[in-house]
Structure 1
Amino acid sequence: MDRKLLGRLGTTIVMLIIAIAGLWSTIRLIEMGPEGRAELKDTAPETFQELQAKAISLGLDLQGGMHMVVEIDATDMTEEEAWDAHRRALEVIRNRIDEFGVEEPIIQPLGEGRILVQLAGIDDPERAKNIVRRTAFLEFKLVALSSRTSELVTVIDEIAKEMRESSTEYEAPVESDEPPMVAMSDEADTAAVDTAMAALFADLEPETPAVDAASAEEHPFLSLLQSFGYTEDGGLNLAVPEPNIAAVEEILALPEVTDIMPDELEFRLGVVEESENSSNPFESYARLYLLNREAEITGAAVSRANLSFDQRRFNEPIVSVAFKSDYVKRFAQITGDNTGRQLAIVLDGKVRSAPVLRVRIPDGRAQIEGAFNADEANDLAVVLRSGALPAPIKIVEERTVGSTLGQDSIDAGASAGLFGLAFVIVFMFVYYRVSGVIANAVLVVNVVLILSALAMFGATLTLPGIAGIVLTMGMAVDANVLIFERIREEFRTGKSIVASIQTGYERAFKTILDANITTFLTGLILFYYGSGPIRGFAVTLMIGIVMSVFTAVFCSRIAFDFLYSTGRMRRLSI
């Protein structure tokens, strides 16, 4: 055996050892099975993550997860503004998903104003959707004095009353099978409330407001509100029972009401809260605030946001916020100049809380409360750290793949691959005999090298990717068939075994190279212009082509040379 052959054989063996080592983590995870993997994840998460990082990554269609396409609302934006909003939204969503902790997400632009988001292996799709689509626009606004609130709600009540009295044409509301939210005195009173609300909201069909009929007749707006406790300056705290929220929002949006609102003020509702008073007939309500329209400070000033627990409220989850150094003095000035007033924390147009400023806050820290559970508080911290979306987004396409379906896909793909491999092995052995055995051995090496490359390069294996592997198996065999037929032709002309093998490989090489280069270029185009599963197919196709050429031309030639040089091939079995 000459040194060149020994060197080529040694190189192949070393590559095969490295390939098997690269697949070791994948093999261990497969041997554990679903239950073993779940147990290891719970008992030794660091070991599990280390194994998973070195193993072949499975795509959305194989391990389950969610696929969604979101669209930026670019209404009233110029073309340049829409492009910038799309770019910034892509960055914000990517930051949010990274903070959320999803491994190897796919987040990429998809046409004009759309973004593709694929999250493999997530357990809570609804939570992921909320993380992605939440605008997370944070504002800190001062609450107006209660005297202004009382004045404005009285004026709005008068406007609502005048509108109802001047309305002569309206449609009576559709009768509902649901019982009224609050017991009325009699059927006539109930009809009076329905009539008043129908006249006021001719273009809306709100849920039947929970009001007293007599009160609604005299005060159509005030009757929708409820007072509880007093403010710091002696005014009443106002709230809206949940059944009345739609009606209150409709009244506040009336042109006649917006026209009388001062430019510097606006009404905002808080988040819906559960009533803590057992004597209260309403189970839930939202507080009503009159705020300065201009924010004192916004979420752009936030440098850190973290999940914390309020020791004073039985470890209730909250979000602790720290401001950037440039805004610390500004926040200290706001809190110092407005001691005794409420500072509302507004998130996406809803007031989360409105604490009273007791003292000046010099360290640039605040906390957001709002009846969170730990996951909700942590998700809010994630979106605040990542920044607000430049414009609202909507989900235009959504698809969820369960883990069971993903496992079924893996099983089906593996079965197809093994069946194809077995068929090819039998055919090659029957048709080419000893040479077929060499081709089969090379084919197994080819599959091992492809899978190892996927693991070591961190590529993601998808269902189309499995199809790509099966396809390259056929291409690898095709290359061997070309070589064997060339060798057979050369041998029939009377050449020796060595000369036939050498000439056969040389003449088949150009054909094999040309065919595989064109297919490789096709794979590059699919990878560049495709997305998701198409890219997965392209990756495995390109890796498979490289490995097929290597094993067919290099490895099988070593096998022929080794058998002939050691005297094990005295006649050509092909």
Structure 2
Amino acid sequence: MLHIDLWKRVLIWLTCAVGLWLALPNAFYPRVETHNDAEAAIAKGQTGPELSAAAATWPDWLPSGLVNLGLDLRGGAHLLAEVQVGDVYEARMEAMWPGLRDALRPERAAIGTIRKQPSAPDEIRIRIGNPDGMARALEVVRGLARPIQTLTGVGSTDIEVRPEGDQIVVTLSEAEKLASDDRTVRQALEIVRRRIDEVGTREPTIQRQGADRILIQVPGIGSASELKDIIGTTAQLTFNPVVARGSDPDAQPGVGEKIVPALDEEGLYYTLESAPVVTGEELVDAQPSFDQNGRPAVNFRFNTTGARKFGDYTAENIGAPFAIVLDDEVISAPVIQSHIPGGSGIITGNFTIEESTNLAVLLRAGALPAGLDFLEERTIGPELGQDSIDAGKVATMVAFAAVLVFMFLSYGLFGIFANIALVLNIVLIFGLLSLIGATLTLPGIAGIVLTVGMAVDANVLVFERIREELKTARGPSRAIELGYEKALSAIFDANITTFITAVILFAMGSGPVRGFAITLGLGILTSVFTAIFVTRLMIVMWFERRRPKTIEV
């Protein structure tokens, strides 16, 4: 006999209600978006009657999650930038010269005078006064080589040293160049992401392409030139004394103090002296390394001015913490263990190798490490995006209407039940997209249109099976029950294979392909749910009320 437990009925209708609740804001997109933007501005400390009025455009007790519109729907800017990784080599060589000079000075008795010679950007040439001391000079310089840290451990050294007559030639090793290129692109990627996030745009696409390129797509921004200006701004990196730490963001700081949140520890706030000890402009380098116990750490180095200020401060504040602040967020607050002369220090902690690498990236994120060469620039106007939305709406409505008419003409009352389930199916898709904050692109709309056509497949299988069972004269109740039971395996087999394809597309694809995979995958899940549970529940409720002796499908 047809029967569905009460708790199952409540759960099915509750799921549909939650989906409708989550999808509701998308029906009032401009109002909710204005509300969300105003709330974000208020959260950053901005105030004003305009913001308060904008925040009040949507009730706080209603959900405010929206389906983000991609670049092709909303308009915006598209940039493809190539990172000039070679620029870093010259800076590394320049930063290395003081250390080489200081290491060779005590050996003057054996090697003679030390003179830096004109050289290529990616090398240092040092002429020594006494060529007979070349062996000793090479030994000293090679002693400055550092092991290269990788995710698999320690590889080769970072420099190569060779003699050429009375000159010592120091270059970066090939392994170090590869590692440096990777760090440079990662650093540029992090800086670009932080700069764009500051603008508050919704769901920008910032991803690495190939070895040295970055794809940047920002919906809702005016033009590509405006986006380039945003990327060109400089991050603010400072090293500040720590006064206290706590969990109250509204605590009143003292004169000359400020409260700054921790980057990686939610709910933790630091009270800092507003005047920094040194700033990111005085930071020369920060690299992942290992401490004396072999644990991952981060080495950093200041220029001459920063080294002097940092050395004086650490000598006077042993045992006190100091904060590394990036864009008004504390990324680390190590304790000063000893006097740190020379402008070099090490940050230790319970880091993994990947975490120490990421921290080094953040420390270097005060400015772009190398120039960006913009290979491709496009500005997509909102009118073009609106045309895409309108075309997608028309396509969806035409497909939707065609399926509704077909199902009604083919299956009568049962077709109406399937049509109601199809409407709920679309609602559930938008509810899930809003819940996970997914980005809807033009291929994503194509996935929804495809889902509309595929959504009734399960119902068609069930209804055709019910027709066959009715021919056995077992009665309508038994025919409906057997129709669902025998069609279930075919429904799962057909949808699981398609769902696996969607997962593979999402994992292996990028951009538009992933947008299509998301809507297709979610559409399969909601289609199976509405076909197996929602349509069946409506049929059971109708059958319990009418108790027909015969049915037509």
Q: TM-score, normalised by structure 1?
A: 0.54
2:76 aligns with 65
Cα distance in 2 for partners of 1:530, 1:543 equals 17
Closer, same or farther in 2 for the Cα pair 1:556/1:548, shift >3 Å? same
* 1:184-219 deviations in Å (ceiling 9; x for gaps): xxxxxxxxxxxxxxxxxxxxxxxxxxxxxxxxxxxx
Equivalent-residue separation in structure 2 for 1:467 and 1:124 (angstroms): 27
Q: Is it true that 1:74 corresponds to 2:74 in the alignment?
A: no
2:420 aligned with 1:441: yes
Q: Deviations over 1:443-487 (max 9, x none)?
A: 011011111111122111111111111111111111111111111
| 1:125 counterpart letter in structure 2 | A
SS of residue in 2 equivalent to 1:391: coil
How many residues are paired up? 349
Amino acid of the structure 2 residue aligned with 1:572: I
2:177 matches 1:93:
no
Query: Which amino acid in structure 2 is aligned with residue 454 of structure 1?
Result: L
Code of the aligned partner of 1:123: G
| Bigger Rg, structure 1 or 2 | 1
Q: Deviations over 1:477-515 (max 9, x none)?
A: 111111111111122133221222122112211111111
User: Contact 1:23/1:455 (CA < 8 Å) preserved in 2?
Assistant: yes
Report deviation, 1:98: 1.5
Q: Which residue of 2 aligns with 1:463?
A: 442
User: Does the 8 Å CA contact 1:526/1:535 hold for their aligned counterparts?
Assistant: yes
Alpha carbons 1:108, 1:116 under 8 Å: kept = yes
- How far residue 100 of structure 1 moved from its aligned partner, in angstroms, is 2.9
Q: Name which of 494, 518, 521 aligns with 2:500.
A: 521
Out of 59, 67, 87, the residue aligned to residue 56 of structure 1 is: 67
RMSD: 3.9
- 8 and 389 in structure 1: CA distance in 2 versus 1, 3 angstrom threshold: same
Task: Look up the SS of the partner of 2:369 in the other structure.
Answer: coil
Specify whether residues 434 and 137 from structure 1 end up closer, same or farther in structure 2 by C-alpha distance, changes over 3 A only: closer
Give the Cα separation in 1 of the matches to 2:31 and 2:83.
Answer: 44
Alignment of 1:509 onto 2:518: no
User: Can you list the C-alpha shifts for 1:255-313, whole angstroms capped at 9, x where unaligned?
Assistant: xxxxxxxxxxxxxxxxxxxxxxxxxxxxxxxxxxxxxxxxx9862549xxxxxxxxxxx
Q: Return closer, same or farther for 1:53/1:95 CA change in 2, 3 Å cut-off.
A: farther
Given that 1:60 and 1:119 are in contact with CA atoms closer than 8 Å, whether structure 2 keeps it comes out as: yes
Residue 210 of structure 2 corresponds to: 111
Superposition pairs for residues 284-299 of structure 1, below 5 Å?
Answer: 299=281
CA contact (8 A) 2:235 2:365 kept: no
Amino acid at match of 2:14: V
Q: What is aligned with 2:393?
A: 414
Asked if structure 2 preserves the Cα contact closer than 8 Å seen for 1:5 and 1:561, the reply is no
Specify the code of the residue in structure 2 equivalent to 1:64: G
Task: Tell me the SS of whatever aligns to 2:85.
Answer: coil
The one-letter code of the counterpart of 1:541 is L
Q: Per-residue deviation at 1:2? A: 8.9
- Residues 118, 137 of structure 1: alpha-carbon distance in 2 compared, 3 angstrom cutoff: same
Identity value in percent? 44
Shift of 1:31: 7.8
Rounded Cα–Cα distance in structure 1 between residues aligned with 2:431 and 2:6: 24
CA contact (8 A) 1:527 1:535 kept: yes
Give, in whole Å, the separation in 2 of the partners of 1:387 and 1:33: 32
State the 1:61 CA deviation: 1.2
Q: How much does 1:115 deviate?
A: 1.7
How do 1:100-249 residues align onto structure 2 when only pairs under 5 Å count? 100-132=199-231
Specify the code of the residue in structure 2 equivalent to 1:54. G
TM-score by length of 2: 0.56
Q: 1:100 to 1:402 in 2, by over 3 A?
A: same
Contact 2:77 2:223 in 1 (8 A): no
**Structure 1 residue 387 displacement after superposition:** 1.8
* Correspondence for 2:25: 25
Structure 2: distance between partners of 1:522 and 1:451: 21
**Aligned twin of 2:465:** 486
Q: Which residue of 2 aligns with 1:450?
A: 429
What letter is aligned with 1:458?
Answer: G
Q: Secondary structure at the match of 2:456?
A: helix
Which amino acid letter does the alignment assign opposite residue 72 of structure 1? V
CA contact (8 A) 1:133 1:392 kept: no
In structure 2, the CA distance between the partners of 1:425 and 1:81, relative to structure 1 (3 Å rule), is: same
The answer to whether the 8 A contact 1:89-1:389 is kept is yes
